[in-house]
Structures are given as C-alpha cells and as structure tokens.
A and B are shown apart, each in its own frame.
Chain A
Amino acid sequence: MLTAEGITKSFMGIHALSGVSMQVHAGEILGVIGPNGAGKTTLFNVLTGLYAPDAGNIFFEGRDITNLRPYRRVGLGLARTFQNLEIFRDMSVLENVMVGGHVRLSCGFWQSLLVTPGKRAEERLLRSQALELLALLGLADRASAPAVSLSYGDQRRIEIARALASHPAMLFLDEPAAGMNPRETELLAGLIAQLRKDLQLTVVIIEHDMNLIMNVCDRIVVMSEGRVLTAGAPHEIRLDARVLEAYLGEEIL
C-alpha cells in the first residue's frame, strides 16, 4: 500500500536516514521501533511530507508521492498525530475534530460567503460525523470543552479523532502512548485494534512502549542509526539478537 525505497535524509551533514526501504501492507498495524535517534520520527516526517527526502522514493497505492506537499497527502488518505501534542489551543474539542475534516468538504470561497444550502448541509454532516468520532473515542461529553482543558491522555485521543476526521486510509501515530499510564495504554491498544477493524484502517505506530507494540502490531520494523535493522512479526523480533544489541542490551523485550 505504501512503499518507501532508499530514503535518505540528512540534516547539516548528519545522516538521519540512510537508504531506508520499507513497506506498509494494506490493513496491517505496523510498529516502528528503535533506540532514540534511530530515525523513526524523521522517517514519519518524510512519509507524511514534512520533509522531502534527499534521495529515494515513496509510493502510495502505486502513485509517486515523494514530493507531494503534506496537505495533498492528507487528501490521498494519509493522516497523522504528533509526538508532542499539537492540538489547536484556541478551539474546542469538537472544532479540533472538524478542522480534521477539512479535505472532505468541497465548499469554496463563494459558497462559504453566500452560505448556500449545500454549504450548510455539508457543515451539518461534518459536525455530526465529528461528534460520532468523539463518541467512538469516548470524548462525546467533552465536545464543547476547550481542547486545552482536557487531560494529556484525552488530548492524545482528540488528535486521533482529528486525524480520523479526514477519513484516512492510513493513520500514522507518533508515540501515541507517551505520557499515558499503563491502564490508559492498555485502553489505547484496544482502541487501535478496534479502529482498524471498524474503519478498515492501516496503521503505522512509532512507540517506545513495548507492551503496546507487542500487543497490537502485526509486524514490526526495527530501526537503528538511520537504517532498517530488520522487520518481522512480534515473536520474531522479540528473539532477534541484533535487535537486543541495538538497544545496547537494555532489557526491554
């Protein structure tokens, strides 16, 4: 579904990614793990379009999207959340999710200016779908609250609802469990599995929480020093000596 070939990206001479090739298959939940500085977030940023790679190509459903701007990728069905919470601070919870639905609306300048019936119908639909998404994520009763008033874990959920509002085919989650307690993480794992099932999503997750990764992922890509070290099913990764070595013998698995 998504294929990256030979992605290289450096920042001021530092190779963040050197020749990363990977694939995301339709319908899977793929985990991307690796020690700090392995290039996971840079890979996410290249795949979602924040940076253009220095070399290499990215194909999404057969189409070359290497140089496509982020907003165009969202239109094609790629959506993401952020490692550092990036909710819109001046907006309510519902407004945040409605912004996420931007690409699904077609009203242009004149329809908005003249408040045409089509525009109004579109807005009503967006609002009701945003409320449904909030219900799905257990935030329905907080819809009109200022987004910043919610807890850390709930703000992560707003971000997921907001990303889902664009009706993506593929969802990138950048450390979704960061700052969550074990109970919240467990709920998150259940949620991710449920979303994949209900919305036919393909999910890519960067995460340090190995419980989440091992529980929810079908396949794992291990990165180290800007390269893909190995990829495989969780039980294979768990036993791979190279993976343990990459983590410098940290007992993480």
Chain B
Amino acid sequence: MSAYVFHVLIMVSIFAILSLSLNIIVGFAGLVSLGHAAFFGIGAYASGLMMIRGMGFVPALFLAGLCTAALGVALALPALRVKDDYLAIVTLGFGIIVVMVLMNLEVTGGPDGLVGIPPAALLGTPLYSKPGFLALTLGFLLVMILSVYALKQSRIGRAWAAIRDNDVTAMFMGINIYYYKMLAFIVSSFWAGLAGSLYAHYTAYINPQTFGMHTSIQILSMVVLGGIGSITGSLLGAALLVVLPEILRPLADYQDIFYGALLVTMMVFRPQGIMGRVKITEIFGKK
C-alpha cells in the first residue's frame, strides 16, 4: 500500500477517535456541543509544547489528555448551567475563544502555529513509519471503542440515556444529572485531547485554523451522519467524511456542495443517521 493510503487511514482513525468522543456528549448524554475541535486543539498544543520542551511521547500524550479533560471541566462548569440552544451557543463561543487564544499567545506561536513537533516515540524509538503510526492510532481507537462500549453498557450509560431522553424524569430516577453531564464532558474531552496529541506528533506542525469552527462542524457531521448514539456509526461517519473528500479531490471546488447535499439528503431521508436510533431533532430540537 502506498504512503498516501496509510496517510488517509491514519486521518480516519484520528477522526474516528474525535467523532466517537463527541458522540459521548451528543449521542449518549444528549447535550449539544459545537466547539469540539477546541478540545482537539488543546490536546495537540499541550502535547506539542510538552514534547518540544523535552518530555517523552507517552507522558506528553497522557498529560495532554488530562489537560484537555481539565479544560472540559472548566467549560462544563458554566456551560451545564444552561440547556439546549444556550448550551450550543456557550460551546460555540468556547470553540472561538480557544482558537483566538492559540492565535494570540506567544508560547503557541500565534497564527503561525507550532513547528518542529517531535514525532511519536515508543521505548525511545521515534516512530517515523506510517504503518507504525497507523498501528498506534488504531491501538488507541480500539482501546477507546472497548472503554466507551463498557461505559455505554453500564449504570453510567443508562444514566446518560435517561438524561438524553428527559433530564427532569432522570432526576426522579435518583440520577445526579449534573454529575453525569460533567462526566460526559470529561471522558469526551480526554479522548479528544489524545486525538489532538496523536495528530500533532503525526503532522509535526499545527496551527490554530485546524481547530476552528470548520473542524467542529466536520466532527459533528460525522456523528450525525453515522448515527447519534451509535459507536459503529461514529466510526463509519469518520471513515466516510475523511475518505469522501479524498475521492472528490478532482472536484475540489465543488466538494463542499457535495458535502452539504449529502447532509441535507440524510436529514430528510434518514434523520437518525446510518446506524443510529435517535433522530437529530430529539437532541437539537428539544423544548
């Protein structure tokens, strides 16, 4: 297989981690989030900065996940005081703020971004080969799928599903809805941060634009297209929305039209997504 194919597969697995992580917030807990790429960016920058300053890859990776989770808490604390449309606006604002901060801080390199991020390394050996890096990202994706599945099949997953359905009723089931919503943000942002770290060490160069609104919408589209609340759906959504633009590359100028048409068609004919059971209107049209 050519290096190009490996590159696409690596991007698919990184975006699969991202879409699955967003699905925890949107699909499992039924909350709206429009700023998910910000978590991706925080993980990427945290990991890049730590490794540039001499930290090893593995600690940098996990610390990046933890830093991102901490920011997830920082966002959720004020954001979870509001619901639905208001939550959408708060998360949207969060996404914009993060990009602005990355753009304006000196330590993050401003609009130019971070250059010369060291490659991922395992046991002291740098991982330059694409197949090797793909194995690494697939390994993380697999661990994530298993852990997300375990949570979904537990008391926690049931509490999330109850909150998604009706959070007032969920309170009367003895569910501390604030705690479980917070937990969704923490788990989700942790994984998005890990994805960011993997991405940073893969590309060796990051800049703020990558983590803006466009990427947030892209990740959300993967979740919605694949199916809200469905694990396989998120993987499928990521695969489709990473691979399709590559296939449509000859039509680069019309790519977004195709994209938009695909999403509109889905919403009209199958609003629950390819694999999902929950329709998007149940999350975004809540009263």
A residues with CB within 8 A of B: 48-50, 69-71, 74-75, 79-80, 82, 86, 88-91, 95, 98-100, 102-103, 105, 107, 109, 112-115, 119, 122-123, 162, 166
Q: Are A88 and B159 in contact (CB under 8 A)?
A: no
Interface residues of B in 153-187 (CB under 8 A from A): 154-159, 161-162, 164-166, 168-177, 183
Tell me the minimal C-beta distance from A202 to chain B in angstroms. 17
Bound Cα distance from A98 to B168, whole angstroms: 17
**B183 nearest CB neighbor, chain A only:** A109
Q: Are A107 and B165 in contact (CB under 8 A)?
A: no
Bound Cα distance from A109 to B282, whole angstroms: 27
Q: Are B155 and A102 in contact (CB under 8 A)?
A: yes
Q: Are B151 and A99 in contact (CB under 8 A)?
A: no
Tell whether A100 pairs with B173 under 8 Å between CB atoms, given A88-B165, A90-B165: yes
Q: Are A74 and B161 in contact (CB under 8 A)?
A: no
- Apart from A99-B162, A112-B150, list 16 A-B contacts with CB within 8 A: A48-B172, A49-B171, A71-B176, A74-B174, A86-B168, A89-B165, A90-B161, A91-B161, A99-B158, A99-B159, A99-B161, A112-B154, A114-B150, A115-B154, A122-B155, A123-B155
Bound Cα distance from A74 to B170, whole angstroms: 11
Asked if B11 CB lies within 8 Å of chain A CBs, one says no
Quick one: which of B147, B164, B171 contacts A69, CB cutoff 8 A? B171
Tell whether A70 pairs with B171 under 8 Å between CB atoms, given A99-B159, A109-B156, A113-B147: yes
Q: Are B172 and A103 in contact (CB under 8 A)?
A: no
**A103 nearest CB neighbor, chain B only:** B174
Interface size class of B (residues with CB under 8 A): 20 to 34
Bound Cα distance from A79 to B278, whole angstroms: 28
Tell me the minimal C-beta distance from A94 to chain B in angstroms. 11
Q: Are B172 and A70 in contact (CB under 8 A)?
A: yes
Q: Are A88 and B177 in contact (CB under 8 A)?
A: no
Bound Cα distance from A115 to B155, whole angstroms: 11
**B154 nearest CB neighbor, chain A only:** A112
Asked if B7 CB lies within 8 Å of chain A CBs, one says no
Q: Are A112 and B155 in contact (CB under 8 A)?
A: yes
Quick one: which of B155, B159, B278 contacts A90, CB cutoff 8 A? B278
Interface residues of B in 212-245 (CB under 8 A from A): none
**Can you list 10 A-B contacts with CB-CB less than 8 angstroms, sorted by A residue number?**
A86-B169, A90-B282, A99-B159, A102-B155, A102-B159, A102-B175, A113-B151, A119-B154, A162-B173, A166-B173
Asked if B277 CB lies within 8 Å of chain A CBs, one says yes
Bound Cα distance from A116 to B53, whole angstroms: 39
Tell me the minimal C-beta distance from B161 to chain A in angstroms. 7
Q: Are B155 and A107 in contact (CB under 8 A)?
A: yes
Q: Are B174 and A71 in contact (CB under 8 A)?
A: yes
Q: Are B162 and A88 in contact (CB under 8 A)?
A: yes
Residues of A within 8 A of B166 (CB): 86, 88
Q: Are A99 and B173 in contact (CB under 8 A)?
A: yes
Q: Are A71 and B177 in contact (CB under 8 A)?
A: yes
**B177 nearest CB neighbor, chain A only:** A71
Q: Are B158 and A95 in contact (CB under 8 A)?
A: yes
Residues of B within 8 A of A166 (CB): 173-174
Tell whether A105 pairs with B155 under 8 Å between CB atoms, given A75-B174, A112-B150: yes
Tell me the minimal C-beta distance from B53 to chain A in angstroms. 31
Q: Are B173 and A74 in contact (CB under 8 A)?
A: yes
